[in-house]
Chain A
């Protein structure tokens, strides 16, 4: 029986710094560890004493990939605390912004971070010569998604136009119409990407571990912007009781908090959303899911990447529907620099939004001047750390006998990547050292 010693510090092609450690002596597994070594960020402390209209701008900086998601979750918490209602039109526009971001983030993960594993390359760079056409299609969709974020939010990253009570500036009907046409013509490209990935899907490890999936759910739509919290183990929870679901705790190997609900860990993200809301997917998205044999409840975490692909198709289809509806009813114009009248008041508000990596919570308390006195943010990746650890504990014994250190390492790295963790805000490539 062999000794296995894998130390991956840090896992590449993910956001931020995380390490994998596997230690086995004579075939006996002694330790499997998913470590998060990122320094704490302190955003909850930054926003204290800040006025309510600055919080979304500040917290959107938590992430460069899902900054729209953070901004919207933050705004929803603030609007909840102060009893601010937004118009139907603003809600539709916010949903569009969220679709744009979800597409952008998912395409980045599928195309630039996960695909190299499936085609057997170290990174996207060698793919420029091995798969130039496929890569161009991926980049085209990614650029369209960025363009969509810019049209909706004024900027591709760190939205500028999302403010408490609505939008500071609206996209013009012409911009929306142009965007719709571009989305319509992207459907062919998406089908191409789907069939390309389909041809490689046998490379995805066939590993299953039963776990709990947590996401939002909504009676009328596939939930991104709003809904109640649902668990695949059964039961819905109103967003205001989110703490009863997240149950954060601290582990020694991680600077990030872990969470658990009914079981020892749970999963959030595209696969969780899809498992809990499959019926609400758009027609073409369902078709793509069926094509990959992806149906609820899927317990293979590697299929998260495929669930993301399905969601991108849903994002495109649903965006076309929303823009059509907006153009049909006509856009209510507002001034070139709109600022809704808001009377700050004291209170606590909670926002929950499905961002690319899963369900995100912001929870603020304000004093009578509208200054934040207390804040809590629970990020999707935090909620996935526990599940990654437990997946590894189950997966390693399955593969330890039959595979080399290199193969074990790759399988585990692919597992971490499948969760598309956003450990913080940096991506870099670091070579792996084995400890002899």
Chain B
């Protein structure tokens, strides 16, 4: 009994799910709703593990979550194609829109599977804070040091903050305005001025300064100058 994954045949045990066959053979399928901590719980709720069933005469092309799809002889599926990618991306975007954005205070920032996937699926709206291990009191903002991480694109694995320096924003300002406002609130709470945040952001994101300015004004965030 064989199943075809991405054009290659693999044997399987009766009752196995497609996800497990793929995992056994080192084929990466992302999941969010179950993980190594509770591998047996499969709510099939996140739909990140979708794969495409290829039309083989018996099955119509269809997207199925691989964690619940039983392996069957002759079944052909694809784990990596544009349809699958787009579906997963949409799933992630929806999840992200509901997701708590407070990466700065989150217990898993710096090692966040969700953030990693968002980067892999090129979703805008993930800040350097999600990759930064300096949480709460360890955060530069809590220590009165201006760090641009809260409004800067992730993707560098927070190299500077991991190595003891604040983020200088070299991956440029995020374009997701909701997340930007959230980041700006962090500067506001920690008493930074508009002037210093804008000046710092200007170095690598000159064109985004107007957006930041507008968001500060619309949301009445950050003071013009900080009185010493």
Interface residues of A (CB under 8 A from B): 50-51, 54, 57-58, 154-155, 158, 160-161, 168-169, 336-337, 339
Contacts of A160 in B (CB 8 A): 160, 163, 165, 168
A160 CA to B166 CA, complexed, in Å: 9
Contacts of A155 in B (CB 8 A): 159-160, 163
B181-208 interface bits toward A, Cβ cutoff 8 Å, 1 = contact, 0 = none = 0000000000000000001100100000
* A-side interface mostly: loop
Contact B160 A58 (CB under 8 A): no
Known interface pairs A51-B199, A57-B168; A337-B145 also in contact (CB < 8 Å):
yes
Q: How large is the interface on B (under 10, 10 to 19, 20 to 34, 35 or more residues)?
A: 10 to 19
A158 CA to B160 CA, complexed, in Å: 11
Inter-chain pairs besides A155-B160, A155-B163, A160-B163, 16 sampled, C-beta below 8 Å: A51-B199, A54-B200, A54-B203, A57-B168, A154-B160, A154-B163, A154-B164, A160-B165, A160-B168, A161-B165, A168-B165, A169-B163, A169-B164, A336-B164, A337-B140, A337-B166
Q: Does B143 contact A (CB under 8 A)?
A: yes
Q: A50 to nearest B CB, angstroms?
A: 8
Contact B203 A339 (CB under 8 A): no
Contacts of A51 in B (CB 8 A): 199
Q: A365 to nearest B CB, angstroms?
A: 19
13 A-B pairs with C-beta separation under 8 A? A50-B203, A57-B168, A58-B203, A158-B170, A160-B163, A160-B168, A161-B164, A161-B165, A168-B165, A169-B164, A337-B140, A337-B145, A337-B166
A155 CA to B156 CA, complexed, in Å: 12
A54 CA to B169 CA, complexed, in Å: 13
Residue among A57, A158, A161, A337 with max Cβ neighbours from chain B (10 Å): A337
Considering the complex of A and B, which 7 residue pairs feature the smallest CB-CB distances, nearest first? A169-B164, A160-B165, A154-B163, A337-B145, A154-B165, A160-B160, A168-B165
Q: A57 to nearest B CB, angstroms?
A: 6
Residue among A57, A58, A339 with max Cβ neighbours from chain B (10 Å): A57
Known interface pairs A57-B203, A154-B164, A161-B165; A337-B159 also in contact (CB < 8 Å):
no
A57 CA to B168 CA, complexed, in Å: 9
A125 CA to B25 CA, complexed, in Å: 34
- Choice from A50, A54, A58, A337 contacting B164 with Cβ under 8 Å: A337
Residue among B145, B159, B164, B199 with max Cβ neighbours from chain A (10 Å): B164
Contacts of B163 in A (CB 8 A): 154-155, 160, 169
Q: A29 to nearest B CB, angstroms?
A: 48
Contact A168 B164 (CB under 8 A): yes
Contact A337 B168 (CB under 8 A): no
Q: B168 to nearest A CB, angstroms?
A: 6
Q: B162 to nearest A CB, angstroms?
A: 10
A161 CA to B160 CA, complexed, in Å: 9
A143 CA to B66 CA, complexed, in Å: 43
A50 CA to B166 CA, complexed, in Å: 19
Closest to A169 in B: B164
Closest to A159 in B: B165
A404 CA to B168 CA, complexed, in Å: 53
Closest to B143 in A: A337
Closest to B160 in A: A160
